[in-house]
Structure 1
Amino acid sequence: MSTVFDALRLSTVSLDVAAAQRGTPQDIARRQQTRLAALLESTLRGSRLYRSLWPAGTTPNTALHQLPVVTRAQLMANFNDWVTDPQLQLDALRAFTADPNRIGEPWLGRYMVWESSGTSGQPGIFVQDAQAMAVYDALEALRRSPPPKPLLSSWWDPLGLGERTAFIGAIDGHFASTVSVRRLCTLNPWLAHSTRSFSLLQPLGALVQALNAFAPTAIATYPTAAALLADEAARGALRIRPREIWTGGEYLAPGVRDHITRQLGGAVRNSYGASEFLSIGWECAHGQMHVNADWVILEPVDEHLRPVPAGHAASSVLLTNLANHVQPLVRYALGDQITVHTERCRCGSPLPVVQVQGRHDEPLVMCGPDGRRVTLLPLALSTVLEDKAGVFDFYLRQIDACTLELQLPLEGEAGHQALARCCAELQSFARAMGLGAIEVRGKLGQRTPRGRSGKACRIVACAKT
């Protein structure tokens, strides 16, 4: 299977990424402004939606803050007018992403496509061309900070041919991480023999057994999943000792990081990314999160979308993707809460440092029929409700060790049908995870609770006593 890759573009971008990393903050700002002007020019030329939204007289040199904020729901509702290639049609792309057999397959031979979760109340579909993928590839390859390897290991295996990487996530959907792993293995066939994907939706015992058999030297997963694996290592069930644990997609609390490091034994490296821009930030050897500001603009704002000064926590953040001209994202309400720091990092990077406080969905610890504790991961639960039941706006609250309460904003017959699907899928998933019967109480006509950031905390554990 072919994939979206342009060696010349990658070489050009890689040289620039490497040069920018050795430059100054002023160099980063100049690159950012040049790329913003190019993005605005192509968007004015190709996107009917943005032309209708932007003030009359907008030019490539218009200041970013003068343009309106856009949301996912707004863009998805006008998808065919949003994109700059008329061959990209939403109905066809939805049919494509509904087929798990086509994960990682190029659309029209020249686009990578992935879907996002429904955290904001509606799933999104995001299309990347060769230029955008070259940027993501270069940022991932050149700016991630791998932990140091033991000298003997580096001497015996300088090319890393003995590495075995395990990706652990929701592998049956067209999600950015899953598509990226498939694409990477297609581009580098030798990686297909040393990289395996493991589903978070399988019972924990089966996952632990599969990881023990594979014995990965590196793990890529979500913080809550890594913490769960650390629990299994602590009780002696998981017997792997990876040298590297790459986490992303969720908030990584300091205590969770310490627990993962202590029990799994490897160095933890966290990253910050989204479906809207795959490689927003990377963590340096000093543990600081750096934003790839030469290719993405983040504007921290308060609850009224007013700018928030550096050093203060924002209620939300607006994202502008400078790499993707086929599906422009300009002042897009991402919803994450971040704090931008003013001081430069000791690592010497000219890129700004941010503290990210992302999604706060919680793992649910339930009680099995034999009294054994079973942890249901938030990513797995949201995937079950979104992919299996087709519900994206929900609030799942744990009442006790055997009972969940599911709130949906829907009402009437549609609400009752959606609630029945959700309850059936949750109970089926619980049985598959070894819980046996659980009670799922439903409430209709309930708005999903949201924090000040505007992002929903959709899965909440019961209070510890």
Structure 2
Amino acid sequence: MHTVFDPLRLSSISMDVMAVNRGTPQGIVQRQQARLAQLLEATLRGSRLYRSLWPAGTTANTPLEQLPMVTRGQLMANFDHWVTDPQINLEALRQFTADPTRIAQPWLGRYMVWESSGTSGEPGIFVQDVATMAVYDALEALRRCATRPLARWLDPLGLTERIAFVGATGGHFASYASVQRLRAINPVLSSTMRSFSIQVPTHMLVAQLNAFSPSVVVTYPTVAALLADEARSGALRARPREIWTGGESLSPAVRTHVQQTLGSLVRNSYGSSEFLAIGWECAHGHMHANTDWVILEPVDEHFRPVPPGHPSCSVLLTNLANHVQPLVRYNLSDHLTLHPERCACGSPLPVITVQGRRDEPLIMAGANGQPVTLLPLALSTVLEDEAGVFDFYLHQLDDTTLVLHIPLEGEAGRAAMVRGCAALTAFAIAQGVTAIEVRAELGQAVPRGRSGKACRITACIAD
């Protein structure tokens, strides 16, 4: 299958990434400024939306802080005027992403496409050209910390690894689409890299992982914790040497639980649909931001700059790699702290602390008194993909009862509630929950956590 990949471009960017690894913070700033000027020039030339939003007289050398911030809703509402290639059309892209058989296939023969899950209430569609993908590939390959240096030295391409991605596999999501793209680029990976859906019942997922026996598992922290629980009970016999987590906040408690129970080394990363490889975790356990290719501006609740060392209410992201679908001062809504001190690992890249989504697993009643865990990402995927509900709050009342809150009212709200309740009920039963009641409440605001993102799924408090 043809895919979006240029080995020569990847080689060129990889050499620059390696140079930055051995460079200085001043060298990163120089790269930022040069790449920002190129981005602004391309955006001014090709994006009608940004030209209408930016002050008169804006040039490629205009300081970033003089430009207005933008939101996902604002950009998606003006999608066709946002992108710089007039051949890219939102309606056609929606038809493309509606077809799961086309995941990781090139759009128009030259674009990688993925969709966001709609955490903020507004799903997004993101388009990357070969230049953008080369940046992501280089950052992932050369910045992700090797947990077993000797093994990586003996097998630099990871051909002896058996890699299992465990996540949402029903849509064009960035992580799953990226796995499928890698398998298409390197046929050897077709047998050594596999994807497993978090939407199947837990016992089926465990059986599949036992049969595959992965050496590396790539997943979300809540899934890693679930797998550790299954290993502790004796159900999961597979013992991966490494666990790579991302997509959710990884707490110290979950890290310790996973490492001690599975005996696996855990490495965390930070990314988003808007920029796939924002940060990586070094051997000292610190998250480093790839600021040679992405600019992060921590801001307070009034979108004013937050000084280093202080937590933000949100962060404005500027993607320096993507000139096709520019993201300039984009409100990412994550809670982030940019630390002023250099890391002892020697990297010139800044250290950040990220507080992202902290949805909770729901423990429900199963057969013979056995608990059944419903994973938050699986629940949100069911509501988004199967029910078309993106703005919601799901609260567990007890081990048999869920309460689904939707801000919508009127006929639209009632229709969304019927779809949501039916999808949740069917999913819970398929997972092994023996008695399930999903109650409906319309017109309820979705609560927001400290991260600024919606706290969409919360568990009941045990007595």
TM bin, normalised by shorter chain, reads: over 0.9
Q: Aligned with 1:410: secondary structure?
A: coil
Matches within 5 A, 1:215-364: 215-364=213-362
Give the TM-score, by structure 2 length.
Answer: 0.98
Q: Aligned with 1:293: secondary structure?
A: coil
Question: Are the aligned partners of 1:360 and 1:457 in contact in 2 as well (CA < 8 Å)?
Answer: yes
Question: Are the aligned partners of 1:362 and 1:459 in contact in 2 as well (CA < 8 Å)?
Answer: yes
Aligned twin of 1:377:
375
Cα distance in 2 for residues equivalent to 1:367 and 1:211: 24
Aligned twin of 1:78:
78
Pick one of 182, 186, 210 that aligns with 1:212: 210
Question: Are the aligned partners of 2:5 and 2:134 in contact in 1 as well (CA < 8 Å)?
Answer: yes
Question: Are the aligned partners of 1:427 and 1:437 in contact in 2 as well (CA < 8 Å)?
Answer: no
Measured after TM superposition, the shift of residue 454 of structure 1 is: 2.8
Aligned twin of 2:108:
108
Matches within 5 A, 1:123-202: 123-148=123-148, 160-202=158-200
Q: Alignment RMSD, CA only?
A: 1.2
Question: Are the aligned partners of 2:357 and 2:451 in contact in 1 as well (CA < 8 Å)?
Answer: no
Poorly superposed stretches of 4+, deviation over 2 Å: 157-162, 451-454
Q: Aligned with 2:165: secondary structure?
A: strand
The number of residue pairs the alignment matches comes to: 463
Measured after TM superposition, the shift of residue 273 of structure 1 is: 0.2
Measured after TM superposition, the shift of residue 428 of structure 1 is: 0.3
Q: Aligned with 1:370: secondary structure?
A: helix
Q: Taking structure 1 as reference, are residues 303 and 452 closer, same or farther at Cα in structure 2, changes over 3 Å only? A: farther
Letter in 2 for 1:302: D
Question: Are the aligned partners of 2:335 and 2:452 in contact in 1 as well (CA < 8 Å)?
Answer: no
Matches within 5 A, 1:384-403: 384-403=382-401
Question: Are the aligned partners of 1:303 and 1:452 in contact in 2 as well (CA < 8 Å)?
Answer: no
Measured after TM superposition, the shift of residue 159 of structure 1 is: 5.4
The farther-off stretch of 161-170 and 314-323 is: 161-170
Question: Are the aligned partners of 1:219 and 1:245 in contact in 2 as well (CA < 8 Å)?
Answer: yes
Deviation per CA, 1:335-362: give whole Å up to 9, x if none: 0001111110111000000011110111
Give the TM-score, by structure 1 length.
Answer: 0.98
Q: Taking structure 1 as reference, are residues 159 and 290 closer, same or farther at Cα in structure 2, changes over 3 Å only? A: closer
Cα distance in 2 for residues equivalent to 1:81 and 1:161: 43
Identity of aligned residues (%): 70
Question: Are the aligned partners of 2:383 and 2:390 in contact in 1 as well (CA < 8 Å)?
Answer: yes
The farther-off stretch of 32-41 and 442-451 is: 442-451
Matches within 5 A, 1:437-448: 437-448=435-446
Question: Are the aligned partners of 2:365 and 2:434 in contact in 1 as well (CA < 8 Å)?
Answer: no
Q: Aligned with 1:457: secondary structure?
A: coil
Letter in 2 for 1:111: Y
The farther-off stretch of 436-445 and 25-34 is: 436-445
Measured after TM superposition, the shift of residue 149 of structure 1 is: 5.4
Q: Aligned with 1:298: secondary structure?
A: strand
Question: Are the aligned partners of 2:294 and 2:317 in contact in 1 as well (CA < 8 Å)?
Answer: yes
Measured after TM superposition, the shift of residue 74 of structure 1 is: 0.4
Deviation per CA, 1:62-86: give whole Å up to 9, x if none: 1111110100000000000000001
Cα distance in 2 for residues equivalent to 1:439 and 1:452: 30
Measured after TM superposition, the shift of residue 154 of structure 1 is: 6.6
Question: Are the aligned partners of 2:365 and 2:435 in contact in 1 as well (CA < 8 Å)?
Answer: no
Letter in 2 for 1:300: P
Cα distance in 2 for residues equivalent to 1:113 and 1:416: 32
Measured after TM superposition, the shift of residue 160 of structure 1 is: 3.9
Cα distance in 1 for residues equivalent to 2:432 and 2:150: 40
Measured after TM superposition, the shift of residue 427 of structure 1 is: 0.5
Measured after TM superposition, the shift of residue 35 of structure 1 is: 0.3
Measured after TM superposition, the shift of residue 175 of structure 1 is: 0.1
Measured after TM superposition, the shift of residue 373 of structure 1 is: 0.5
- Mark the runs of 5 or more structure 2 residues left unpaired by the alignment: none
Measured after TM superposition, the shift of residue 278 of structure 1 is: 0.2
Q: Aligned with 1:172: secondary structure?
A: coil
Q: Taking structure 1 as reference, are residues 154 and 292 closer, same or farther at Cα in structure 2, changes over 3 Å only? A: closer
Aligned twin of 1:6:
6
Question: Are the aligned partners of 1:397 and 1:405 in contact in 2 as well (CA < 8 Å)?
Answer: yes
Aligned twin of 2:434:
436
- Mark the runs of 5 or more structure 1 residues left unpaired by the alignment: none
Measured after TM superposition, the shift of residue 371 of structure 1 is: 1.2
Deviation per CA, 1:349-382: give whole Å up to 9, x if none: 0000001111011111111142110110000000
Q: Taking structure 1 as reference, are residues 384 and 437 closer, same or farther at Cα in structure 2, changes over 3 Å only? A: same
Measured after TM superposition, the shift of residue 14 of structure 1 is: 0.5
Q: Aligned with 2:217: secondary structure?
A: strand
Q: Taking structure 1 as reference, are residues 178 and 158 closer, same or farther at Cα in structure 2, changes over 3 Å only? A: closer
Q: Taking structure 1 as reference, are residues 45 and 382 closer, same or farther at Cα in structure 2, changes over 3 Å only? A: same
Deviation per CA, 1:198-223: give whole Å up to 9, x if none: 00000000000010011000000000
Cα distance in 2 for residues equivalent to 1:463 and 1:158: 46
Letter in 2 for 1:241: R
The farther-off stretch of 297-306 and 365-374 is: 365-374
